[in-house]
Structure 1
Amino acid sequence: MNTPIPYGRQHITQEDIDAVAEVLRSDYLTQGPKVKEFEDAFSAYVGAKYAVAVSNGTAALHLNALALGVKPGDKVITTPITFAASANCVRYCGGQVVFADIDPDTYLLDIDSVRKLLEASPKGTYAGIIPVDFAGRAVDLEAFRALADAFDCWIIEDSCHSPGGYFIDSKGKKQHCGNGQFADLAIFSFHPVKHIAAGEGGMITTNNEELYKKLLMLRSHGITRDESLFENSIEFASGNLNSEPQPSNSSYPAWYMEMRALGYNYRITDFQAALGLSQLKRADEGLKRRQEIASRYYQTFKDLPQVTDRNYEVDKNPQHSTEYRPQSGHAYHLYILEVKNRLGLYNHLRENQIFAQVHYIPIHLMPYYRQFGWKEGDMPIAETYYQNCISLPMYPTLGLEQQAFVIYMVNSYYR
């Protein structure tokens, strides 16, 4: 097969192009109505009260850390198996990142490892926890919320891999990623390889109105036009300090605004919002296709001796025979295998125009984080995972013939 097969890619339709073109012909390219429209639609999609669209997922994480008041010296726990931004947002605020190991079966942040860290120090030692819905598998945030509450910690849910994903809570109810029921804040990314592509872009969701208002201000230079938050007088705002007092019914002039905090320009454009909104309309369709691709991969690789495929769940109902199947609630941003001779397989696939990827190099072993004392052996499960993991192509437009070729090339390498 001569056409390269990447591990992930965007799917742009004529409807997407038309949506962007419509905004380009409109009066607003940024700070216009399309951003709020996208926010409202996205918050409804995940089931959260509020959504704030921003320039990218990293900006979303940074704003979350700022809104939650992370300050120099604050300790925050996260996973070493994620993109660096999940940890870097703490460093941007001067906080201290503390890594906890992953669960070997799910690759998610291991709650028992987090509990050990929290119990080993006085309450108040840690400010927060950042679990990641890695590869599309949803974290059990109900359990993390109970743990966080016991130790006075906030939670940021990094859901960049999992729009549409969910876990089942203790009452048997689906809890969708980013719905604000258990995490204080959640974030999503609209990078081209994600479920919803907007070129770049990110979204923050929350059910906390106070945090929502902070985020709106911090997103745009720390400036607000909300009169209820103004500190300067109407006389000052009107430029009438040396004149007669203003009438009692006077109001702030339309031009007036106040900078109340040191914010950032993390705004998203209207044409990005239009693209994201158009893509959101077929998000469920894309998610269904990802699940179909996952099912085909799983049925192929579950019995291959050189491969460990953990993209399943076990039906333990005593009335059923034990059955393994692709995991419900998994959004399948990535399809990860643990394999023998990973480098050999990786090179074999590349030689045949299949561009698999590795997610991720453990963050604690990056040179930047090694300077804080992290070393090999600190996260043994994460490090073992890294030695063997590989991400196969996974995106809705991956054709049956293309997937068959990927499967053939993996099998041909081992057999």
Structure 2
Amino acid sequence: MSEQPKSLIPYGKQSIDDDDLAAVAAALRADYLTTGPRIAEFEAAFATAVGAKHAMVCSNGTAALHLSAMALGIGPDDIVLAPTLSFLATANGPHYTGARIVFMDCDPETALVRPQDVEDALERAGGSVKAIFITHMNGQICDIEAISKIARRIGAYLVEDACHAVGTEYTDSQGITRQVGDGAYSDLTNFSLHPVKTITMGEGGVVTTNDSTLHKQMCRLRSHGMTRDPDEFEVEELAFAADGLPNPWYYEMPSPGYNYRATDIQCALGMTQLAKLPRFAEKRRSLASEYDALLAKHNGPMRRFGRVEGCDPVLHLYVALIDFAAIGLDRGGFMRQLSALGIGTQVHYLPIHRQTYYAKLNPGLSLPGADTYYSQCLSLPLYADMTSEDVRRVMDALKSLGA
């Protein structure tokens, strides 16, 4: 009798429990499916969780990055530094507003932008830089204090793409343990709550900030640019009745925005998921430690990706760096063979400066750190419902193929 194939271990997936289902069902039975009370409840809870004054929830992480760029007033002819090793949205967000993107290289072991990568990009920028966007790749944090000093020196905004890093903590130079998103060293921090992230809303994005003006601007821009605040109305003859009270139907659009709203259904799921963040974080850290221990004993052409001192990450991705030439397989063939063994993997990411659109805007650009990391990286399964047995099965499969 032939052996039954083992079920697939995907590289990532959501963890949904009965309390999540109950919360969504309750939201569906409520009076508001969107623009209701769950929006503000979730925003307050998220801000508290990361230690920020404000949180703005929106439809997805890309929308969060776009709203960040709009709120900062980034427009045509402005220069923005962005990491080449990140998802497309980190560059696209400010580019949607017309910015010229100057790409930064990264550490070939960690995929994180280093202060020197920022300085190198500044030399190539050829003008005043409006903002610096950095990505905390895989869940580890960049040297945000050093990069923040550079941003202040040149008068630029600093925006964190923390879509991989919800729950990550780090110790700063003052010995203070901080949460990613508390805004201690940046103007805005962006999060994604996509299903493969540590917590999910199905789709969803959050921006945290300690700047009340930026927060208010983003909240307006996520809903067509409209305001219903009587203090902001400009056309008094339309806005107010004869008795001086605002007309109850009235709104104004000082400038256009987008429909980037999140729904009460999404936020209901977000609330129950956020309550489980400590448990999910502990599980991801435990699984990462198990991978680390197994890789530490391994002598093949595979090693763990680099670690950052002083950072206690909640990893979104666990990355192995593999010499595929030493195995005798290209990466695509290696991944297909792993899939046949029931192991799902992924590559994060093709450097953005090599994407067709941006390559045409940046002909001949060489960013060797990113290219080196990209040539070796393979994202292994990591999610809250994994078991220690799953980790061992992943490692056994990798080693069976020569890694």
- After TM superposition, the score normalised by the length of structure 1 is 0.91
Corresponding residue number in structure 1 for 2:40: 36
In 2, distance between residues paired with 1:381 and 1:153?
24
- Residue 309 (structure 1) aligned with residue 304 (structure 2): yes
From 178, 181, 184, the equivalent of 2:181 is 178
Residue 6 of structure 1 aligns to a residue whose secondary structure is coil
From 220, 237, 249, the equivalent of 2:239 is 237
How much has 1:180 moved relative to structure 2? 1.3
Corresponding residue number in structure 2 for 1:329: 312
Residue 81 of structure 2 aligns to a residue whose secondary structure is strand
8 Å CA contact 2:83–2:103 kept in 1: the answer is yes
Query: CA offsets per residue over residues 288-324 of structure 1, 9 Å max, x none?
Result: 101111111111112333112135457xxxxxxxxxx
From 185, 209, 216, the equivalent of 1:206 is 209
In 1, distance between residues paired with 2:359 and 2:123?
25
What amino acid is aligned across from residue 391 of structure 2 in structure 1? Q
8 Å CA contact 1:184–1:208 kept in 2: the answer is yes
8 Å CA contact 2:10–2:381 kept in 1: the answer is yes
Residue 19 of structure 2 aligns to a residue whose secondary structure is helix
8 Å CA contact 1:140–1:167 kept in 2: the answer is no
Distance change in 2, residues 1:313/1:200 (3 Å): closer
In 1, distance between residues paired with 2:269 and 2:363?
41
Q: Percent identity at matched positions?
A: 40
Unpaired stretches in structure 2, ≥5 consecutive residues:
325-330
Query: CA offsets per residue over residues 16-68 of structure 1, 9 Å max, x none?
Result: 00000001001000000001100000000010000111000000000110011
From 213, 216, 219, the equivalent of 2:219 is 216
In 2, distance between residues paired with 1:35 and 1:114?
36
How much has 1:121 moved relative to structure 2? 6.3
The equivalences for 1:128-207 within 5 A come to 128-207=131-210
Corresponding residue number in structure 1 for 2:377: 389
8 Å CA contact 1:140–1:169 kept in 2: the answer is no
Residue 354 of structure 1 aligns to a residue whose secondary structure is coil
- After TM superposition, the score normalised by the length of structure 2 is 0.94
8 Å CA contact 2:104–2:120 kept in 1: the answer is no
RMSD: 1.6
Residue 396 of structure 2 aligns to a residue whose secondary structure is helix
8 Å CA contact 2:204–2:262 kept in 1: the answer is yes
From 346, 350, 356, the equivalent of 1:361 is 350
8 Å CA contact 2:114–2:142 kept in 1: the answer is no
8 Å CA contact 1:79–1:130 kept in 2: the answer is yes
Residue 203 of structure 1 aligns to a residue whose secondary structure is strand
Corresponding residue number in structure 2 for 1:71: 75
Corresponding residue number in structure 1 for 2:251: 257
8 Å CA contact 2:162–2:189 kept in 1: the answer is yes
8 Å CA contact 2:183–2:209 kept in 1: the answer is yes
Structure 1 stretch displaced more, 34-43 or 133-142 = 133-142
How much has 1:141 moved relative to structure 2? 1.7
8 Å CA contact 2:80–2:132 kept in 1: the answer is yes
Number of equivalenced pairs: 392
Corresponding residue number in structure 2 for 1:110: 114
The equivalences for 1:15-26 within 5 A come to 15-26=19-30
How much has 1:79 moved relative to structure 2? 1.0
